[in-house]
Amino acid sequence: MNGRGISDKFIADLKEGPLRPVLDAVLCDDTICLEIRDNYINVYYRGGSMLRIEEKPSGYSSAFDIKYCVHKTHPAKYKQQIQSAKSVLEYVEIIPLIKAEMDLYFFEHPKLEREIQQHIMRENNLTSHAKDTDYYIADIEYANIQNGSRFDMLALKWPSTSLSRKNGKGLGLSFIEVKFGDNALMGAAGLKKHFEDMESFLSMHPASKICAEAQKMFNQKVELGIINGLSEATKICIDPGQKTEFILLIANHKPASSVLKRELGIIVKTDIYRRLREMTDIRIAYSSLMGYGLYEKTMLSLEDYINEN
């Protein structure tokens, strides 16, 4: 299979075949989410992959990263039971045990940016007000080995007006970079590096292929029933000719701190920024009061943010 997506058989087995317990687990627990990869799926908990299921010629393989059972403060309670699981269904049955081990692991090794990604996905895809936001999340932790791209999130921009929601064609693609706290804005993996990476990627690789992948992944999620308010009959179409968005989502920035305004001020004066904004609309996300719902009206340009703060 070329690009992201799973086979029709994989979809059928999740909906009504031997993998139905996996889908039921996802549908009944909004602390976990199912993400579609290249011929396999990842089930995430708190931003960590708790289960990988891959289609093989002879059936399906399942795997759990045993590193989540390695702890500093307490011995693993359920490592032996988790290691003894062999089949997909055996893993599904011990999800509560897997969660317990991952909770302790994340207590010792916090991954707050990844947890926030899953919160954003939940609010815009799964909650009762998901249909009222202007973005759906097509994927989290997107990585493409072929072109070396990595993005925290891929979203489709679909304004929530009644008129727009009657037509699922011509939607836009947004790349979202999530940062937690002011310390994450500086240094080798700070904001400047992400602008460099995005400019390098878009100058070498047209976004059309990722548009096609995001469209396929999202439509398969809709078919599986894991996008609240969208039925299986809903099919979206991303317009590869529409200008993409590059969105910065900064969680827990301290208003009294000057670091964000300073870093953005440095970036907007660079040639990289000038070239990048010709290729994509660059925005910084504001919350609608509190929460992680994404709305078109709360997406500011970098210049507007700098001038208002």
Summarize pLDDT for 178-197 with one digit per residue, the tens: 999 999 999 888 999 999 99
Q: Computed from CA positions of residues 200, 201, 205, 211, in that sequence, does the dihedral angle turn out positive or negative? A: negative
Q: Higher model confidence: residue 200 or residue 4?
A: 200
Q: Do 97 and 168 fall within a single domain?
A: no
Read off the pLDDT of each residue in 222-243 and give the average, rounded to a whole number.
92
Number of domains present in the structure of the chain = 2
- In sequence order, the 6+-apart residues with CB closer than 8 A to the CB of 178 are 113, 116, 117, 120, 152, 153, 249, 251
Q: Do 76 and 148 fall within a single domain?
A: no
- In sequence order, the 6+-apart residues with CB closer than 8 A to the CB of 112 are 180, 181, 251
pLDDT band of 3, cuts 50, 70, 90: low
pLDDT band of 287, cuts 50, 70, 90: confident
CB distance 180 to 116 below 8 Å: yes
Mean of the per-residue pLDDT values of the chain: 93
Q: In this prediction, what percent of the chain has a pLDDT beyond 90?
A: 86
Q: Do 76 and 167 fall within a single domain?
A: no
Question: CA Rg, the chain, in Å?
Answer: 20
Q: Higher model confidence: residue 150 or residue 215?
A: 215
**Other residues' Cβ atoms within 10 Å of the Cβ of residue 78:** 15
Domain assignment present for residue 74? The answer is yes
pLDDT of residue 148: 76
Please name the helix (run of DSSP H) or strand (run of DSSP E) that holds residue 215, with its range, or none: helix 208-224
Written as one letter, the residue type at 55 is E
State both tokens at 251: 């969680």
Give the residue carrying structure tokens 């994509």.
280
d(CA 135, CA 139): 12
Q: Do 132 and 272 fall within a single domain?
A: yes
Q: Do 135 and 90 fall within a single domain?
A: no
Q: Do 280 and 167 fall within a single domain?
A: yes
State both tokens at 284: 């910084």
Q: Do 194 and 172 fall within a single domain?
A: yes
**Other residues' Cβ atoms within 10 Å of the Cβ of residue 151:** 23
Q: Do 160 and 233 fall within a single domain?
A: yes
Domain assignment present for residue 37? The answer is yes
Q: Do 17 and 66 fall within a single domain?
A: yes
Q: What are the respective helix, strand and coil percentages of the chain, to the nearest 5? A: 40, 25, 35
Q: Do 155 and 17 fall within a single domain?
A: no
Does residue 7 register a pLDDT over 90? yes
Does residue 230 register a pLDDT over 50? yes
Domain assignment present for residue 77? The answer is yes
CB distance 191 to 214 below 8 Å: no
Q: Show which of 108, 140, 174 is a domain's final residue.
A: 108
Q: Show which of 108, 142, 161 is a domain's final residue.
A: 108
**Other residues' Cβ atoms within 10 Å of the Cβ of residue 166:** 7
pLDDT of residue 285: 95
CB distance 182 to 253 below 8 Å: yes
Domain assignment present for residue 2? The answer is no
> Of the ranges 3-7, 54-58, 252-256, which one carries the lowest mean pLDDT score?
3-7
Does residue 150 register a pLDDT over 90? no
d(CA 291, CA 171): 24
Which structural domain range is residue 71 located in? 8-108
Domain assignment present for residue 3? The answer is no
pLDDT band of 95, cuts 50, 70, 90: very high
Domain assignment present for residue 49? The answer is yes
d(CA 136, CA 227): 9
- DSSP E strands, the chain: 32-36, 40-45, 48-56, 59-63, 135-144, 149-157, 169-180, 237-238, 244-251, 280-285, 299-300
CB distance 191 to 267 below 8 Å: yes
pLDDT band of 48, cuts 50, 70, 90: very high
Q: Helix crossing, 8-16 with 208-224: angle to 10°?
A: 30
Does residue 1 register a pLDDT over 60? no
Q: Do 117 and 253 fall within a single domain?
A: yes
Q: Show which of 93, 108, 123 is a domain's final residue.
A: 108
Q: What angle do CA 143, 165, 36 make, to 5 degrees?
A: 25
pTM score, whole prediction: 0.94
Reduce the DSSP state of residue 242 to 3 states and report it.
coil
d(CA 214, CA 173): 8
CB distance 45 to 14 below 8 Å: no
Read off the pLDDT of each residue in 200-226 and give the average, rounded to a whole number.
92
Q: In this prediction, what percent of the chain has a pLDDT beyond 70?
A: 99
pLDDT of residue 251: 93
Read off the pLDDT of each residue in 153-174 and give the average, rounded to a whole number.
94
Domain assignment present for residue 1? The answer is no
Q: Do 45 and 119 fall within a single domain?
A: no
Does residue 165 register a pLDDT over 50? yes
Domain assignment present for residue 293? The answer is yes
Does residue 145 register a pLDDT over 90? no
